[in-house]
Each structure stands twice: as structure tokens, then as C-alpha cells.
Chain A
Amino acid sequence: MIYLSSITRMFQMGDQEVRALNGINLKIASGEYVSIMGPSGSGKSTLLNIIGLLDRADIGRYELDGNDVTSLSEIEQARARREKIGFVFQSFHLVPRLTAAENIELPLMLDGVLPARRKLRVKEALLEFNLSDRAQHRPAEMSGGQQQRTAIARATILRPTIILADEPTGNIDHRNGAEVIALLEGLHHAGTTLIIVTHDQELGARANRHIAMRDGKIMSDGKSVLK
């Protein structure tokens, strides 16, 4: 469960103060499939960063699974990200010198999982995401679709309850995009909360709940329209 109350995030642009998020109230239940859409600068990525504990609100309260995470320490935030949240990025963000298997293994390393157990988990993930034949390939040796599948495998290797995807199909062709969407939706069907930020109307429409943003505010949420 994600609960945001009066979340405001401000940035200083020269001598002007810009409110990227302006009093956001939002509740997302576990297992929901939500798309956040809006024009550039509407605040959707900032909202995703705050939900993903990569950024902090200047004003407001954030509860994650019933716990107040508004003012967690840097170490506690990192642990919460590791345990509960998986990120999927438009540009994949794979480490270029590591193989696909090693990229998938990274979160397990950060979590201190023993090597033998890591190998087993990575092997399962490679099978699950159809990457077994690419295990020892570096990102530069893989297609965009394969790279994004690797990134999704990495995002899910620690079995997070929330997947945050920022334009997950933005850098891949239609066929690979469909494959990636199918994988993400498969995770949602397995019970994971899936939040996708996108400009793509078709992709946004697939979600069960649609949030539209403009100027740091939620303009619409599902079928209801907020003032």
C-alpha cells in the first residue's frame, strides 16, 4: 500500500521556485496496475522518484505498507528500495562491463546473498526471462529487447512488491515493446504493484487505473476527476 498525503516537491530554478509536485494526495493499493501520464514537466517522473524513495518530498507524508517513510535515513531508504521496490528504466541502465547474469546478480550482491544461492536465483531468472543463451553477454552484445528483459530480471530478482517503470518501452521497437509489456503485466498478475510512467497512450490505457498529471497536480485518477 502506497499512501501519499499533501506531497509537495520544490526545485530552485535560478531565482524562481518551481513546484514539481503540488500537494499530491494518492493511495495505491497492493497489486494495482497504475499508469501515470502527462506532458513533460507535469511532475510524473518526480512523483515516481518519490514513490521509489529516490527523492524526498519537501512537504507532506509518505506511508509505504503502513510505515511512515517520509524521513527515513539514507541507509533505511536504500534498504527499503532493495526490499520493496524494483525499477525499470527507459534506457535500461545496465552496467556495460558486466554480463547479463552479473547485471541480474547485482541486487543480490548488494543484499549480501551468498554466492551459491545467488547463482541459483540468477539461473532461475535467466530462464524466466528467456535470457539463458545471453547469460554471458555484455549489454553491448544484446538487442534492446534483451537488455530491457535483463533490466526487468534485475528489478525483480529480490521479489519486490512494487515495480516502477519509467517509459519501459521508450527505447525498443514495437515487437520487443509488446514482449516487455507482457512480462511486466505477468508480474502484476502475480500480485506485484505495477506503476508505469509513460507518454504512450496505448500503453497507459492498458493499466487498470489511469492517473493524469499537469503542473505538479493530479488532474484525473481512474474515472474520477479531481479539482
Chain B
Amino acid sequence: MRLRDTLYLSLKAVASYRTRSLLIVLAMAVGVAAVIILTALGDGARRYVTNQFSSIGTNLIVVIPGRAETAGGFPGAAVGQTPRDLTLEDANALAHLPQVRRYAPLNIGVAELSAASRLREVTVLGSTAELLPIRHMELAQGGFLTRGSGRSAQILLGAKLAREFFPQGNVIGQRVRLGDRRFLVSGVLKFQGESMGHNTDEIVIIPINYAQALFNTSSLFRILVEARSRSDIVFAKEAILDILKQRHDGEEDITVITQDAVLATFDRILRALTLGVAGIAAISLAVAGILVMNVMLVAVSQRTSEIGLLKAIGSPSSDIHHLFLAEALWLSFTGGVLGFFLGQFGSLLIRLAYPQLPAWPPTWASLAGVTIAFVTGLLASLLPAARAARLNPVQALNAK
């Protein structure tokens, strides 16, 4: 029998059992759509996180005091537990490395900010002017710690804080109190919103030496370093480790994390998560496959006499085998295609509902969903098709 005729006859059979076929197609479609939508969600989350990480800097290297082996946990997680602190001198020593474009020592703490009869607790970042370009922060007005003015009591306000404390807008030059010290507002940050869980609109930035005095510490929380280029990151990391090892009496008691490494780790974790979720969704396709097998087995028993007739009028077993395979393929193909469009539509709805989440279904997931549906349908029909083809023509003809 020609392929065209096989496809035509099997399509007629599928169409003649409308409700049953529709339910199977729907089961397949839901399975494929689930694979596509869940993969789109997982991949969207991965892209969202990597975008967020990328936005905190370029060619970024973070130096953290302590090592996992010596601190007994995440390095620097608990300040004071590391064997040796990072100091401003350590940070300044990095300035001479040729692979380093800029660096910024960093301290973080919480203090009370008061001005114009208002008072609130704020997150305080102590650093240098280089922090802004390294962390891709921009100023809405004013300036901060121009070179040589590191010792002046300047303060930079987050956009929301500036609006809260000085609603009239006249911010630059105003005096504020942070803890027990007075500062002169030298600039205001642009609105940036949340990034990596930090709301930069509600922070203040002060010179590093003032921060150390405010928090009564001589150590640093981090040193942020920007390498000259992506290819310099590895060499910069080695050079930083070398120079700080020398400064720390030959002991390697710091941890250097590169932005690339963190990104790659998150990427791996979220990719695995996406695959896991897609795998779970694919189970529904396997269930749909079992449904196809069930329906095809019922079809064989319902149409036994028809199979007998086909054999009587000269159809070889292979033709009957092909007819039943083609029926299952019609069901799974239609289900796969419908599921593809349902999946695309579902992903579109998610993107419309959560514009910040780039929930675009990956091409591989769409292809895999449809292909798995097709293959599942094919595999599920092998047994019923073989059973139909094996039927004894005389017994089949006499079947009721």
C-alpha cells in the first residue's frame, strides 16, 4: 500500500472515533505544553538570574577574607572568624597590578540616618569613588569622593532616601547625621531598584575610612576588583592571590571569586533545574503514551473483523501494522503540534504577566516536547500494531 493511502485510511479511522481521538490528542497536547511552559519558566529564571548577576559589574573579581577550609563555612560569612583580616593596605596593594583596571575596598553596616527632623535606619556602604563604575551605579546629581577628597565627610544618598529626607529636591550641600557623625551630602544615586536582593535606592555611601571609624573596625568586608578585560580575569585572580599571600606572610587566607565563576555556577544549577522540571513534565507525555497504547489496543479489539477483512482482500501483515502505527502517529503528531502552540501561548501569557521574567521557551525544549510526543506515540503503538498484524485472518473475520 502506498504511504499516502496508509495515511489517508488511518486518518479516516482516527476521525471516525472523534471523542476518543480528541481526548488522546488533548492528553498529548497538555504533556507537550507542560514541557514547553515549564522549560520556558526554568530557562527564564536562569536568564533572569544571570542578567541580574551581569548587571552588578563587568569582569568583576571579589576578594573575601578567609578560606572555606580555614573559616569552616562560606568564607567571610562571619566577620572576625577569619584568621587574618583584609585591610585597606591590602586593597591599595592591588592598584599596581597591570591586569586591574580599578578596585574598591568595601565595608557594609547599618546605622541611623537623621536629617531635617527625620530619622531612619539605613544600609551604609563604605568605599571609594571607584565603587560606582565597578558596580555600574550612576549619579543623578552631584559627585562623590573626587580623587584626593577621600578624607572629607561626604555622603552619597540613594534616590529614595534623598526623596524621603529632602522632598523639596534641594539635596546637594545639605547636612545629615549618620550614627554620631555629621556628613555633607555630595551626590544622589540614580533610581536603580533592586539588584541581587539589594535595593540601591535605600543605601548611603561614605568614604571607606569614615565607615571603618563608624563601625569601629580596621578590616574590610570585601575588595571589589575590575579586571581590564575578560581574558585578564584569570591572570588578575592569580596575581591578587599571589600579592595578598605575600602580604599575609605566605599564607593563602583569602578567597577570590570571579563573576564568571559565580555566573557559571548559577547557570549550571538553574540549567539542571530546568532539565529536571522538563523531565517531570515529560512524565505526563509518558502517561499520554500509555493512553495511546490503551486506545490502540481497544481499537484493535473493536476492529478485529475489519482486520480480518483486510487480510482476506490481500493485505499483508505489514500493511496492517503500518495502518495502526499511522493512526497512533496521527494522534501523537496532532497532540504534539497542538501542544507546541499551547506551550508557546502559555509562555506568552507568563511573559505578559511577569514582564521581568524572560520566559521564552528554548528551541530545544519545543523540539524535544514534540519529538518525545511523536516517539512516545510511536512506541506506544508498537504493541497494538503488532497484535493487529499477527491476528489470524479466519478468527479475525469471525470476530463479533
Contacts and interface: CB of A to CB of B under 8 A. Distances in A.
Interface of A: 49, 52, 54-55, 74-75, 78-79, 81-83, 87, 89, 93, 95-98, 106-107, 109-112, 154-155, 158
Interface in B345-400: 393-394, 397
Interface string B121-138: 000000000000000000
Nearest to A52: B312
A48 to B, nearest CB: 10
Contact of B314 (A49, A78, A98): A78
A66 B117 CA distance: 118
B397 A54 contact: yes
Top-4 shortest CB links A-B: A82-B314, A97-B16, A78-B316, A93-B309
Given A81-B311, A81-B313, A154-B313, 13 more contacts: A74-B316, A75-B316, A78-B315, A79-B316, A93-B309, A97-B13, A106-B313, A107-B313, A109-B2, A109-B5, A110-B313, A112-B2, A158-B314
A110 B319 contact: yes
B306 A95 contact: yes
B172 interface: no
A93 B316 contact: no
A126 B238 CA distance: 89
Interface in B2-29: 2, 5, 9, 12-13, 15-16
A93 B315 CA distance: 15
B314 A79 contact: yes
Contacts of B308: 93
A11 to B, nearest CB: 11
B287 interface: no
Contacts of A87: 312-313
Interface string B309-344: 111111111110000000000000000000000000
A91 to B, nearest CB: 8
B1 interface: yes
A109 B6 CA distance: 9
B1 to A, nearest CB: 5
Given A78-B314, A93-B305, A109-B9, A55 B394 contact: yes
Nearest to A111: B314
Interface residues of B, number: 25
B1 A89 contact: no
22 contacts: A54-B311, A54-B312, A54-B394, A55-B394, A75-B316, A79-B314, A81-B312, A82-B313, A83-B314, A89-B309, A93-B309, A97-B13, A97-B16, A107-B314, A109-B2, A109-B9, A110-B310, A110-B314, A110-B315, A112-B2, A154-B313, A158-B314
- By CB atoms of chain B within 10 A, which of A74, A82, A87, A95 has the most? A95
A9 to B, nearest CB: 11
A81 B308 CA distance: 13
A74 B318 CA distance: 10
B295 to A, nearest CB: 16
A78 B1 contact: no
Given A78-B316, A81-B312, A97-B16, A109 B1 contact: yes
A109 B10 CA distance: 13
B388 to A, nearest CB: 14
A166 B2 CA distance: 30
Nearest to B8: A109
Contacts of B319: 110
- By CB atoms of chain A within 10 A, which of B1, B317, B393 has the most? B393
Nearest to B4: A115
- By CB atoms of chain B within 10 A, which of A55, A110, A111 has the most? A110
A41 B325 CA distance: 37
Contacts of B305: 93
Contacts of A52: 312
Contacts of A93: 305-306, 308-309, 312, 397
B308 to A, nearest CB: 8
Given A54-B311, A109-B5, A49 B316 contact: no
Contacts of A111: 314
A155 B309 CA distance: 11
A8 to B, nearest CB: 16
Contacts of A49: 394
A109 B319 CA distance: 11
Contacts of B315: 78, 110
B12 A97 contact: yes
A139 to B, nearest CB: 12
A54 B15 CA distance: 30
Contacts of A81: 311-314
A74 B316 CA distance: 7
A200 to B, nearest CB: 20
Contacts of B13: 97
A110 B315 CA distance: 6
Contacts of A98: 12
Contacts of B312: 52, 54, 81, 87, 93
Contacts of B15: 97
A107 B319 CA distance: 12
A99 to B, nearest CB: 10
Contacts of B1: 109-110, 112
Contacts of B313: 81-82, 87, 106-107, 110, 154-155
A75 B317 CA distance: 8
